[in-house]
Structures are given as C-alpha cells and as structure tokens.
Structure 1
C-alpha cells in the first residue's frame, strides 16, 4: 500500500513513528472529453484573459480576493514560512472523547496508520488503550498544506485517522431555504411512516450495496470495446497512416533492390551456333 507520508503521533510524552496510507479510493469512471470532429482529447490550458497569452508555471502567482477585483498577493516563500512554523509530519493528540459526540457531518477523509520502525510497541499501546476506554483521540495534523483537525480511532485491528471539518467549515442549517418550521403531519401519517421504517430496518452490511450506475457504465464500455466500437484521434490516425506509408515505402525499396533475373538473348545464341 502506498505511503502518503511518514511522521509521528504524540500524546503526552509518548511518541509513535507512523506511516499514513489512503484508506479509501474514488471508484468513479473517468471519462475524457474529446473533440467531436476528430476525437482528439481536449487540452485545458491556463490562459490570461487580459493578455490573451498561455501561461507557464513560473508566470503564475497566488493571491486572495479581498474585494471584487482586488487581490492580496501571497508569495510561495511566505506560504512556506507558515508551513515551517508547524511540524508538518506530526500528529498531536490534544483531547480524548467518545466517538458518538461527533456528528457525521464533520467527517471528511480516512487514512490508515501503520507503525514505522521502532514504533510497533507504542502503536499497540495506543490501540489497546483506545479499545479499553472506548475513546477516540482528537488531533491536529498538517496534510496537503492544510492544518487538519482529525480523529484517531481503532478500525478493525488498526489505527485510523479521519480528518474532520472545523466548525466554521460546516454551514449553518438556518441558511437552508424552505424548511418547514412547524409539524404539518397527522398522527396516522407518522405511524405509517414509522411502520415502514420498522419493516425496512436491518443490520448494516456494506457489501450488499453496489454502484449500479458504475457497473452499467463499465458494462457499456466493455461491450463497445469488444465490438471494436473505438475511435482514434486525428493524430493517432495520421501516425497510423504514416506507419502504413513507411511500410509501403520500405517494401518498395526492397523490391527495387532485388537483383533482376538475367534474360537469355535467343538471337545471340543462334548467331553463335551459326
């Protein structure tokens, strides 16, 4: 499993060297955008709309829009200095709480944690302590250039870290429009709804749920591929034509270079005989 980064977990005076691994992956099927006329993949270029020129990496700087059309420029050196003020490869547990205290809306991404060299004993100690106390750790960590709030908990038999949103990143429910403020259902309607929920209540078995759209799309792609319903971009077709032309030219060259068969002049033979 690919290691995202190596660092350490600290709580109190205990320090655990660890490795971070992505616990989930995006299962979406990536479709490319093609030019309808020639089937060439579309390129997305960075262009300045004012100068009407294509930009290279060194032409681009970062900025924050403080007002409409007004920006504060932030240099890469300034950003790097802020990063260096924090330990980028450390996970500091600041509190321990019960997992049920965290609403699922706060959860973002999940990562597996594995012990690095010399960290197996301390790793096992933290894991067992979390199991015995039925607690999770609230920690701060730097990942992908952002200070993340995270939860460290036990998943099956390993430690898992889940990044969670800060409170100001979760939008207020008051901002959601058209929410009824008063109950407008009858008792009979409510009882019927509860009965339906009871009938559909079961144990959670994640393996029984499937992305049906993705499966159908995979089937469509496989079917089209088997039936050779594929297209080539213009450049690839040109390359294929060039290869064909080259092979033809080579064959013609070979044919021309073959030694010609000697023909016997019947008249000269007859002359010699006479």
Structure 2
C-alpha cells in the first residue's frame, strides 16, 4: 500500500514519525469518459469565454467569483498561492474526547496510520493503547494538500486511524426536510416495524453485499 502523506504525530512532548494510507477507495471500477456515440472517440471539453463567445486557452483561465453587487473578481495562480502552513507535516493532538462525543456527520476520508521508524513504535503502541483503554478519540489538526483540517485519531483493531472532519459550521442545516411534527405513530405500528427490522437482520453479513451494477 502506497503512503499518501508522511510526517509526525505530536502528542505532548512525544513526536512519532508516521505515514498515512487511504483506508477507503474503489477497486477495479470502470473509468468512463465522454465519448462520441458515432465512433467512440473521446470528447474534448472546451474552455469557452461567454463575453467573447469563443474558445480560450487553458493558460488564460483562472478562478472567478461574482460579488453580490455584480463586481467580478478574478484570482489567478499568483493570487491563490500562499506559503505552506508551518505544521504542514505534523498531526497535532489538540485534545481527547469521549468516543461518542463526535457527531458522525462530521467524519470524512479515513486513513490508516502507520509508523515509519521501528524505534518509535513503542510510542505508537503507547498512544494507541491509551486511547483504547480510555474509550476516547483524539481531536487533531492536520494539513493534507493545501487544506488544513480537523481530524480524529481512533483505534481500529491494532492500528490508529485518522479520519478528517468537517467543522461544525460546515454542516448544513436540514431546514424543511424533516416530516411534519404532528404525525403520530401507534404503539402496534412501532412494534411491527421493529419486528420487521429483526427479520431483515437475521443472517445479514455486510461483507456479502456487492455492487451488482458495476
């Protein structure tokens, strides 16, 4: 398995050299692309300028933002460039919280955490076992690519797993989505639904669920 990131896990005064490996991904999937129905050749996407009504070169394109008052803001690579954060190769442990204290809605990409220095494996095991025994997860800050993210470190079997998180303010409010509040369910209906869930759960094995349309 190829590492996607290498750096240091900082826990108090302890620094543990680590590498991150993507824990999830698609295996063996098709990689479809846009094709011409007549001959199967690839279809090229053009960069089209609406103002000039014509195609432009890739080097002429940048990121744009239209302000609420109608002003156009263009940000090229020079504008977007920023110095890397000082801790871009470090997973900083900020605190530890109860395992059930983090809303699963915040969780994102998961990474296996592997040690890169056998001499430091003792500290890796110490940190892992401390999380396991306490029933806690560690809240961390890490920079992956150009984005600084919050993440949690938790124990999975004999490994640490780092899982990126959205910030609470990034979770959208589900306004107007929930059913009406005046709907009532009779006890016998609830009992029937729970019985049906029990029936569906008999012999169920998540590992046996496959993508039949791939």
TM range (shorter): 0.7 to 0.9
| 1:65 aligned residue | 66
Distance (whole Å) between structure 1 residues aligned to residue 4 and residue 20 of structure 2: 5
Q: How far does residue 68 in structure 1 lie from its aligned partner after superposition? A: 6.5
CA contact (8 A) 1:48 1:55 kept: no
Q: Number of residue pairs matched? A: 211
Kindly report which structure 2 residues correspond to 1:162-201, keeping only aligned pairs within 5 A, or say none: 162-173=163-174, 175-177=175-177, 179-201=179-201
| 2:137 aligned residue | 136
| 1:44 aligned residue | 45
Distance (whole Å) between structure 1 residues aligned to residue 147 and residue 92 of structure 2: 15
Change (3 A) 1:203 1:11: farther
CA contact (8 A) 2:20 2:112 kept: yes
**1:131-179 superposed Cα distances (whole Å, 9 cap, x missing partner):** 2212110111111211111110111111110011111211113x13362
Distance (whole Å) between structure 1 residues aligned to residue 67 and residue 163 of structure 2: 32
Distance (whole Å) between structure 2 residues aligned to residue 80 and residue 123 of structure 1: 35
CA contact (8 A) 1:149 1:163 kept: yes
Kindly report which structure 2 residues correspond to 1:58-137, keeping only aligned pairs within 5 A, or say none: 58-67=59-68, 69-81=70-82, 83-117=83-117, 118-137=119-138
SS at match of 1:196: helix
- Between structure 1 and structure 2, the one with the greater Rg is 1
Decide which structure has greater strand share: 2
Change (3 A) 1:195 1:143: same
**1:207-266 superposed Cα distances (whole Å, 9 cap, x missing partner):** 12111222xxxxxxxxxxxxxxxxxxxxxxxxxxxxxxxxxxxxxxxxxxxxxxxxxxxx
CA contact (8 A) 2:20 2:114 kept: yes
| 1:154 aligned residue | 155
| 1:19 aligned residue | 19
| 2:31 aligned residue | 30
Q: How far does residue 2 in structure 1 lie from its aligned partner after superposition? A: 1.1
Distance (whole Å) between structure 1 residues aligned to residue 43 and residue 179 of structure 2: 42
CA contact (8 A) 2:46 2:55 kept: no
In structure 2, list runs of 5 or more residues that go unmatched.
none
In structure 1, list runs of 5 or more residues that go unmatched.
215-274
| 1:246 aligned residue | none
CA contact (8 A) 1:64 1:73 kept: yes
Distance (whole Å) between structure 1 residues aligned to residue 4 and residue 47 of structure 2: 28
Decide which structure has greater helix share: 1
| 2:55 aligned residue | 53
Structure 1's consecutive aligned runs of 4 or more residues displaced over 4 angstroms after TM superposition are none
SS at match of 1:16: strand
Aligned residues: CA RMSD: 2.3
TM-score (ref. length: structure 1): 0.69
Distance (whole Å) between structure 1 residues aligned to residue 80 and residue 123 of structure 2: 34
CA contact (8 A) 1:18 1:119 kept: no
TM-score (ref. length: structure 2): 0.87
